[in-house]
Every structure is written in C-alpha cells, then in structure tokens.
Copies of this chain bind each other. A is one copy, B any other.
Amino acid sequence: MDKILSRRSEDYLEAIFNIQKEKKYARVKDISSYLNVRPSSVVEMLKRLNDNRLVTYRRHEYVVLTPAGEKIGRIINDRHITIREFLEMINVPRRIADLDACIIEHELHLETIEQIKNLVKFVKSAPNHPNWLKHFERFCENGKHECKENKKDKTYLLSIDREIGIKNRSF
C-alpha cells in the first residue's frame, strides 16, 4: 500500500471530509475558501480525484467522497488530531502544534503514527497523568527531575520491577 497521493491531494480530501461533517456535500466554493485557493484550482483537483475514484464529482452538481476517499480523509484528519494532541501534550504552543500537524500528517509511516497514538493514550490514561505532565514541565524549565533518588522512589520502582518481572535493578 504505497503512497499514491500527493500531500496536496490529501489536503483536499481532508478538507472535503471536514466540510461534509457540516453540510451533506461540499461545493467548490467551500473547498476554495477552506484551502485558500482559487476555484479553478479546486476544479482541477476534483477532476483528478474523480479519476482516482476518491470523490464523486459531476460538474455543476455536487462533490462527495467515495468510500475510498472518505477513508483517506478520515485517516488524515485523525492523524492531524493525534499529532496535534501529542505536540500539545509536550507543551508545543497550540498554533504551532496545529501547523506542524498539518505538515507531518501526510508523511509518517503507519507504525509511527500508531506509536504516537499509543504514547498519547499511555500518558493520558496513566494513573498519574496530570502529574507526569507537571513533572515534564518542570523538567523543561530547569532540566532536572525533581524527585530524584529518594527512598520512596526506590520503593516504588522496585514494586513495579516486581510486577513487570525485572530481577535486578542497579540504581
């Protein structure tokens, strides 16, 4: 399942996907203003996407995603959200997180996205979630772990070692 589509095509699909969430189907004008390009550019792209069976497009009528197109639109959108969430989680400012998500949503291998998704879930669902983040924030500020090497840590660590089956920890 190699990369067929240009990233720009994916942008269009994502745009249509998002527009469709609001209004049964997208019009050229909608897409044009969503992506900040001229209508003629949209029409050109729609033809391409239509040829690739990613949208159903008939002149002067409507544009809707085919199942294949919707799948891609959804995936790209999902990646966007995942990446943005991850970046925000590690304190990248929202605006930048969003911009960077726009870029890399197109580029990453499945495995990579999957792991980022896992990481986000991991941190979010951790029993000490808000804590982890606070901890990280402090680390960003002063480069140090704040609760290093005290007794309770060791107790805790050893208790986990036991749980997950590590035998010898060298502190």
Contacts and interface: CB of A to CB of B under 8 A. Distances in A.
Interface of A: 87, 90-93, 96-97, 99-100, 103-104, 107-109, 111-112, 115-116, 118-119, 121-122, 125-128, 130-131, 134-136, 138-140, 143, 145-150, 152-153, 155-157, 159-161, 163-164, 166, 169, 171
B118 A145 contact: no
B140 A153 contact: no
B100 A131 contact: no
Given A121-B143, A146-B164, A156-B153, A87 B104 contact: no
Secondary structure dominating the interface of A: helix
Contacts of A127: 145, 147-149, 153, 157, 171
Contacts of A118: 90, 136, 139-140
A109 B126 CA distance: 28
19 contacts: A90-B119, A92-B112, A96-B112, A103-B108, A115-B140, A118-B136, A118-B139, A118-B140, A122-B139, A122-B145, A125-B145, A127-B145, A127-B147, A127-B157, A131-B157, A131-B160, A135-B160, A147-B164, A156-B156
A24 B123 CA distance: 46
